[in-house]
Amino acid sequence: MKFLVILLLAACGTALAAKLSTPPKALTPSFLNRLRSATVGLKPSQRNANITEEFFTTEVDHFNNQDLTTWSNRYLALMDHFVEGGPMLIFLTGDAPLDPSMIDDGTLINEMARDLGGAVFALETRFYGKSQPVGDLTVESLRLLNTDQILADVADFVVHLRRTVINNPFAHPLVTGTGLGGGLATWFRVRYPHLVDATWSSSGYIQAVFDFQEFSLGWAETAITVGSNECYNRIFIAFHVAQNLIDAGFGEVLYEKFNLCSPIDSEDRMAVAYFFSVLMTSIELYTLRNGNIDEFKTVCDDITNNDFTTSLDAFANWFNQQFVSDAGCIIVSFDQFIETLKETSASTEISMTGERQFLYQQCTEYGWFITTDSDLQPFGERVTMELYLEMCRRVFGDWISLELMFQSTTRMNERFGGDRPNVMQIHFTNGAFDPWRYLSVVSDLNAYALADVIPGELAGADLGSISEENDSTELVEVKRRLKELLESYLFPFNPR
């Protein structure tokens, strides 16, 4: 099944679905608007770490004193490096399921623990993975999935570690994460500064954005720099020709070229928008999936191949090579996609990857919907906020409106400071080629809230341990500075 199956298992895609066998089966990894950046830069090491799975008890609803129901939140622990007086280094998984690679021997947080005599932990976010506070994903249950509840879980977790695991009420906590996890780490520093001494946000999603048109703009900048202007132009031509074919009533040409399971209904605005969102995010997230900048050059080389007479043929060939099996076709059905996201069981494969949960948070808090509203991108004009409004309404109910979605992002930024949070003893890192940097902090906020933008890198490049052999000189410098700064924040009066 090639890359499509990988996307499903990793849950890092937009609405791709494939009919790869008989009977037909729609696979919908729904990578809507983001890549699972928690997995980027975190590759399992060849060394074994003594990581254990643990649970701690916290409240289902932290803000309802009339209901003291509790649940067991899952986390991973590594105590190999811990010595008395050492810090607690906590990795927040964000919207990704818990995985040992987040804190194993191949990570920088593990390396820091070894240097500082610290204990390492990874905390799974409520409603994601196996951390299910109520057991289902109905809209009524998902009202308990919001930033305030998540941060209250983290607060309880820090207290639990100090009292029960570390046995030191004054143990120094560091909180970190990437993607949504990086945002949560930052917001935890804003909301609970007394419970965290140091924070590191790696490619963190800090600012809520209603219409995230900058993502495709940022992707295009990287494609031109790493690939070529010709690559950009070919994609631009392919998408605009595809739009013109649909407008002129020749959608069957796309049905044939892209090996679709059924023709595109040119009269259905959502069907057309969904089709273009599939094409757009397929190439955007394919190039970002491994955090390897060379993916851009490889894809651009394929698309600029002189074997094809038209740009549309070149792009369609690339698309079919990556996402279609030998005897399959692509199901591009908005209705089937919506039905998949309506699944409310917490134990299904699609639910375990966090697709429905993350969409709920996008619709009600964060936004981050990738559109074609910027003029400085090659993907046409068909993917607008209308598509995402319809998606949110069909999946969660008619109570969702554009006004609600916009006000939700405004409220998040007003409460936590957007991309200018009022924080200290925090460090922000981002890749200079990462489109997600437009949500993050890329310049110093103050003398104790500095930012590094790493040349030539995508998201999460700084998550791995220092490698003089594989890391660029700039990346090694950033990792060393990270370790020095975070140690000074953890132990300002008694350097270790």
Residue range 15-56, pLDDT digits in tens? 333 322 333 333 343 443 344 444 555 665 555 579 999 999
* Residue 3 falls inside a structural domain: no
Is the same domain home to 334 and 202?
no
CA 472 to chain centre: 24
With H, G, I as helix, E, B as strand and everything else as coil, classify residue 178.
strand
Is the same domain home to 427 and 401?
no
User: What pLDDT was estimated at residue 479?
Assistant: 98
* Residue 37 falls inside a structural domain: no
Alpha-carbon torsion (207, 98, 173, 71), positive or negative: positive
Is the same domain home to 316 and 441?
no
User: What pLDDT was estimated at residue 75?
Assistant: 98
Is the same domain home to 96 and 202?
yes
User: What pLDDT was estimated at residue 493?
Assistant: 73
Nearest-angstrom CA–CA distance, 30 and 472: 33
Is the same domain home to 252 and 180?
no
User: What pLDDT was estimated at residue 15?
Assistant: 31
- Looking at 149-302, which runs of residues are DSSP E strands? 173-179, 198-204, 209-211
* Residue 14 falls inside a structural domain: no
Which of 411, 443, 467 represents a domain boundary (last residue)?
411
Is the same domain home to 455 and 357?
no
Task: Label residue 17 exposed, middle or buried (CB < 10 Å: 0-12, 13-18, 19+).
Answer: buried
Determine how many CB atoms are found less than 10 A away from the CB of residue 449: 21
Nearest-angstrom CA–CA distance, 178 and 195: 20
Is the same domain home to 214 and 202?
no
Measured CA to CA in angstroms, residue 39 lies from 101, 185, 234, 459, 495 at distances of: 8, 17, 30, 10, 32
Determine how many CB atoms are found less than 10 A away from the CB of residue 94: 25
Q: How many CA atoms lie within 13 A of 179 on its CB side?
A: 24
* Residue 458 falls inside a structural domain: yes
**Listed residue (354, 362, 400, 369) closest to 273, CA to CA:** 369
Nearest-angstrom CA–CA distance, 408 and 198: 28
Which of 362, 388, 411 represents a domain boundary (last residue)?
411
| Residue stretches of the chain with pLDDT short of 50 | 1-38, 326-327
At 235-287, the pLDDT tens digits run 999 999 999 999 999 999 999 999 898 899 999 999 999 999 999 999 998 99
With H, G, I as helix, E, B as strand and everything else as coil, classify residue 329.
strand
Nearest-angstrom CA–CA distance, 384 and 402: 12
Nearest-angstrom CA–CA distance, 205 and 225: 24
User: Which tokens in the block code for residue 197?
Assistant: 């001494």
Q: Which domain holds residue 227?
A: 210-411
Alpha-carbon torsion (288, 291, 295, 300), positive or negative: positive
Nearest-angstrom CA–CA distance, 162 and 167: 5
**Listed residue (112, 51, 114) closest to 490, CA to CA:** 112
User: What pLDDT was estimated at residue 5?
Assistant: 27
Is the same domain home to 363 and 231?
yes
* Residue 460 falls inside a structural domain: yes
CB contact burial 307-342 (16+ within 10 A = b; e otherwise): ebeebbebbbbbbeebbbeeebbbbbbbeebbebbe
Is the same domain home to 201 and 214?
no
* Residue 318 falls inside a structural domain: yes
CB 185 within 8 A of CB 199: yes
* Residue 459 falls inside a structural domain: yes
* Residue 297 falls inside a structural domain: yes
User: What pLDDT was estimated at residue 392?
Assistant: 98
Which of 390, 411, 432 represents a domain boundary (last residue)?
411
Where do the H-state alpha helices sit in 52-125?
Answer: 108-116
Measured CA to CA in angstroms, residue 189 lies from 2, 366, 409, 425 at distances of: 41, 18, 19, 9
Is the same domain home to 243 and 386?
yes
CA 234 to chain centre: 28
User: What pLDDT was estimated at residue 41?
Assistant: 56
Nearest-angstrom CA–CA distance, 124 and 74: 6
Peptide bond into 23 cis (omega under 30): yes
Nearest-angstrom CA–CA distance, 91 and 103: 7
Tell me the CATH number at 433: 3.40.50.1820
Is the same domain home to 186 and 301?
no
Is the same domain home to 228 and 175?
no
Total of domains in the chain:
2
